[in-house]
Copies of this chain bind each other. A is one copy, B any other.
């Protein structure tokens, strides 16, 4: 019973991530592995830092990819910035806010939760009330773009309020980076993490992060050791520091960093603001098609992420069967609802390389065909035409 090489099908990835990976990135990743102390690799690391600073719109020196997925990027922010006994205000309007609460508690700190209905953005007034009620709070954490609902929050305002009450800020930008406006320095964000497999169109597995001087100051003056050796930025800083000071910490995922570098080069070629605009444009076309079909969106238009579309279901439909048919007949992956949204929405991603005219039309055409075939209550045959008008 020997096992053979694995040959995956060629899917169209329009779920909540991973999104379609640019073939240039796959090719870059397959280049020859070199050592993690090789001078050529050190220059790659320097370029990655520079490109990532441009992507986060920051001059933060401590800007780099963590050698593990986005959820480890999240944990890196919490274990470094939070000490046992602290109070952290977590704004929660979806699955990833809940995960933040888990992180705070595992740091031995207390989470004060500012709850918001799923699909709504975080309410700045509620955050301010919580800060008034908890003057002992050290940190405010929130998700910029909730991947579980498709809602975007006003990060600039939330950070400003947190700072008014002398709190540091931790921001989840897993789904927003490169897809929506995000300005780390202009908005004074202290700690931010993202993923590679969303609007950067890179393979999953590493997590870009950035830390302000205020954040570094806190990390370097902790009373307790960071509970994680692997994620301790005091050690990681030595590894990602300036050339001559570089000290061995762990073996970097060399080829994943080739891929990440290439994804940032591609973004630099397009231009960050052009990328934001492309995500908006393709969302408008998808929206026209979805509405022409008679379906709607879970999130109010004002807070809707262009890259993650939470679409409401036609009445009485078996949503899992629809996704299964999209996958088997069209090689098209869209996402299910997560957590309390399971069975209530589809999540259609238009992220990075997957945010293209071709994908919008394919998705609308396939969804129209599958739903029509299942006798769903939709306006059949109109979606693609409506989207095409938007592209004109």
By the criterion CB–CB under 8 Å, are A3 and B50 in contact?
A: yes
Q: By the criterion CB–CB under 8 Å, are A32 and B8 in contact?
A: yes
- Complex Cα distance, B21 from A258, in Å, reads 15
Given A3-B50, A28-B5, A38-B327, do A256 and B258 touch, yes or no (CB 8 Å)?
no
Flag A226-259 by CB within 8 Å of B: 1 or 0 each: 1111100000000000000000111111111011
Q: Which of A11-19, A131-139, A214-222 contacts B (4 or more CB under 8 A)?
A: A11-19
Say yes or no: A38 contacts B228, CB within 8 Å.
no
Closest to A33 in B: B21
> Interface stretch among A68-76, A163-171, A279-287?
A68-76
Interface residues of A in 267-290 (CB under 8 A from B): 268-269
Q: Which of A15, A33, A75, A99 has the most CB of B within 10 A?
A: A33
> Cβ of A391 < 8 Å from any Cβ of B?
no
Tell me the smallest distance from the CB of A73 to a CB of chain B, in Å: 9
A interface, over-half SS: loop
Q: A157: shortest Cβ distance to chain B, in Å? A: 28
- Which residues, 1 to 46 on A, are CB-close (under 8 Å) to B? 2-11, 13, 15, 17-18, 20-21, 24, 26-41, 44
Q: Does A126 touch B at the CB level, under 8 Å?
A: no
Are the CB atoms of A229 and B6 closer together than 8 Å? no
A268 touches B6 (CB 8 A): no
Residues of chain B with a CB closer than 8 A to A327's CB: 38-39
Q: Is A97 an interface residue (CB 8 A)?
A: no
Chain B residues within 8 Å of A376, by CB: none
- A106's contact among B20, B41, B225, by CB below 8 Å, is which? B225
Given known pairs A21-B32, A32-B11, A251-B204, the reply for A103 and B229 (CB within 8 Å) is: yes
Closest to A269 in B: B2
**CA–CA, A205 to B67, complex, Å?**
7
Q: Which residue of B lies closest to A3 (CB)?
A: B47
In contact, B69 and A253 (Cβ under 8 angstroms): yes
Binary B-proximity of A68-102 (CB < 8 A = 1, otherwise 0) = 11111011000100000000000000000001001
On chain B, the residues within 8 Å of A34 by CB distance are 8-9, 11, 13, 333
Q: Tell whether, in the assembled complex, residue B6 and residue A253 are in contact, meaning their CB atoms are under 8 Å apart.
A: no
Determine whether the beta carbon of B69 is less than 8 Å from that of A251. yes
> Within the complex, which residue of B33, B36, B37, B230 is in contact with A72, where a contact is CB–CB below 8 Å?
B230
B5 and A32 within 8 A (CB): no
Find chain B residues with CB under 8 A from A5 CB.
24, 28, 261-262, 265
A306 interface residue per 8 A CB criterion: no
Q: Name A32's contact: one of B10, B47, B197, B255 (CB within 8 Å).
A: B10
List 9 A-B pairs, minimum CB-CB distance, nearest first.
Answer: A205-B253, A30-B30, A68-B68, A71-B250, A26-B30, A204-B251, A203-B255, A21-B33, A72-B230
Q: List 12 A-B contacts (CB under 8 A).
A: A3-B268, A5-B28, A8-B40, A9-B34, A18-B33, A26-B255, A29-B30, A68-B68, A68-B230, A107-B227, A195-B251, A203-B255
New A-B contacts (17) at CB < 8 Å, excluding given A8-B41, A9-B34: A5-B261, A8-B32, A8-B33, A8-B34, A15-B37, A17-B251, A18-B36, A26-B33, A30-B30, A33-B204, A35-B333, A36-B204, A38-B327, A71-B251, A107-B227, A253-B256, A256-B256
